[in-house]
Amino acid sequence: MAKEAVKKIKLQIPAGKATPAPPVGTVLGPAGINLQEFCTKFNDATRDKMGDIVPVEISLYDDRTFDFVLKTAPAGFLIKKAAKIQKGGTKGSKETVATISVDDLRSIAETKLPDLNAYDVESAMKIIEGTARNMGVTVEGYKADDAE
């Protein structure tokens, strides 16, 4: 019989930098899992993504064991990285803080495709472009109608 998940926890942790200290420890400690074991496994699994923020979905079981699934980095993080900015605009699409190329948009869309509600790269590009626009980042030479 398969183990049944008792609880699911979602966190965003910098790749390779999980420690039993807060915020990881304060979330997972009450769940009763071995923090050091989780941190070691997570850090080993994300060693190749150093510098990125990695969302992780942890499934906890009644015998205090766990599994985790790594997701792709948040779209906002990838857009800021491509635009080389620290944060998005405070006024959303009314304020332009940076510009990225269509190639940057396509590479972010290809990276995020498994986690997005899209069937192809063009649809994913529309989703990512909308996120970028709301952050105050424009995509040079891209019109949403072009992708169709």
Q: Pick from 70, 103, 126: which residue ends a domain?
A: 70
Between CA 121 and CA 134 the distance in angstroms is 20
Mean pLDDT of 67-72: 87
Residue 111 above 60 pLDDT?
yes
Residues 66 and 80 in one domain: no
Residue 75 above 60 pLDDT?
yes
Spell out the residues 6+ positions from residue 109 whose beta carbon is closer than 8 angstroms to its own. 116, 121, 124, 125, 127, 128
Read off the CATH number of the domain in which 17 is found: 3.30.1550.10
Q: Pick from 70, 97, 114: which residue ends a domain?
A: 70
For the chain, what is the domain count?
2
Residues 85 and 66 in one domain: no
Residue 148 above 70 pLDDT?
no
Report residue 117's pLDDT band, with 50, 70 and 90 as the boundaries.
confident
Q: Quick one: pLDDT at residue 147?
A: 45
pTM of the model: 0.75
Domain housing 14: 5-70
142 to each of 46, 51, 59, 84, how far by Cα in Å?
33, 28, 40, 19
Detail the DSSP E strand segments found in 1-148: 5-14, 53-61, 66-70, 98-100, 137-139
Report residue 145's pLDDT band, with 50, 70 and 90 as the boundaries.
low
Q: Pick from 48, 70, 92: which residue ends a domain?
A: 70
Residues 55 and 106 in one domain: no
CA atoms within 13 A on the CB side of 121: 10
Residues 32 and 65 in one domain: yes
Q: Quick one: pLDDT at residue 22?
A: 79
Read off the CATH number of the domain in which 120 is found: 1.10.10.250
